[in-house]
């Protein structure tokens, strides 16, 4: 389960998975391996070495996870209940920078391969508030049309670049409000009056 830092934790997991997968693209000391970095693309991307930027451009609520029951604490803790976690979808733009066109295409190919081969990130791959949890992150290549992709670039006021759009689901954001619950100690069942 994730606290308020779960969005940052998911972004870190995505960046770490991509950086690890890009290591094999390095070709000696003169050509270091590309890296991945979290970047909001508001500034010019520094391209000393080739890199993939990971830009979180949209957060939405997962409609398929609504109406879940409240979460109750387990004894021996004091009985409490809280709203179910808010289920989030995170949408990322992954863009190659630096190097020649072939290097950029290799980076995109490696990113596609990484999230195709390991579309579910879980267990030791998770860090931060997700570490040690039973949560899993499902990564899916989002099928956007060229117009939709162009609108993303237009919104951040940058010229269009070849990039990948990924959706990560379900990211559970825990509620911070707990309500005490009193257990039922006795009950009285009354029958209907007889006519």
Tell me the two tokens of residue 25. Answer: 């693209």
Q: What is the DSSP letter of 151?
A: H
Q: How far is the C-alpha of 108 from the C-alpha of 94, rounded, in Å? A: 8
Q: How far is CA 162 from the centre of its chain?
A: 21
pLDDT at position 170 is: 82
Domain ranges for the chain: 6-176
pLDDT at position 161 is: 92
Calculate what percentage of the chain has a pLDDT beyond 90: 43
Tell me the two tokens of residue 72. Answer: 């109750």
156-164: average pLDDT: 92
pLDDT at position 3 is: 78
pLDDT at position 114 is: 95
pLDDT at 71 exceeding the cut of 80 = no
pLDDT at position 89 is: 93
For residues 179 and 95, the model is more confident at 95
pLDDT at 27 exceeding the cut of 70 = no
Q: Name the 3-class secondary structure at 58.
A: strand
For residues 94 and 172, the model is more confident at 94
Contact 36, 71 (CB under 8 A): no
Q: What is the pTM of this model?
A: 0.82
pLDDT at position 76 is: 64
Q: How many CB atoms lie within 10 A of CB 23?
A: 12
Contact 54, 14 (CB under 8 A): yes
140-154: average pLDDT: 90
pLDDT at 10 exceeding the cut of 90 = yes
pLDDT at 175 exceeding the cut of 80 = no
Burial class (CB in 10 A: 0-12, 13-18, 19+), 82: middle
- Topology at the third CATH level for domain 6-176: STM4215-like (3.30.2000)
């Amino acid at each position: 389960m994730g606290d308020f830092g779960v969005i940052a934790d998911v972004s870190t997991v995505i960046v770490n998975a991509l950086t690890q997968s890009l290591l094999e693209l390095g070709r000696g000391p003169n050509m270091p391996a590309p890296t991945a970095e979290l970047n909001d693309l508001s500034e010019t991307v520094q391209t000393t070495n080739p890199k993939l930027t990971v830009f979180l451009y949209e957060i939405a609520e997962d409609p398929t996870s609504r109406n879940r029951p409240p979460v109750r604490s387990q004894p021996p803790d004091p009985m409490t209940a809280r709203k179910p976690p808010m289920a989030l979808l995170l949408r990322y733009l992954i863009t190659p920078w630096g190097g020649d066109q072939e290097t950029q295409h290799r980076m995109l190919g490696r990113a596609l391969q990484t999230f195709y081969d390991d579309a579910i990130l879980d267990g030791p791959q998770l860090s931060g508030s997700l570490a040690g949890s039973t949560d899993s992150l499902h990564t899916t290549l989002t099928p956007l049309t060229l117009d939709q992709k162009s609108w993303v670039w237009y919104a951040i006021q940058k010229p269009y670049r070849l990039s990948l759009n990924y959706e990560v689901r379900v990211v559970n954001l825990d509620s911070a409000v707990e309500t005490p619950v009193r257990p039922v100690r006795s009950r009285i069942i009354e029958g209907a009056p007889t006519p």
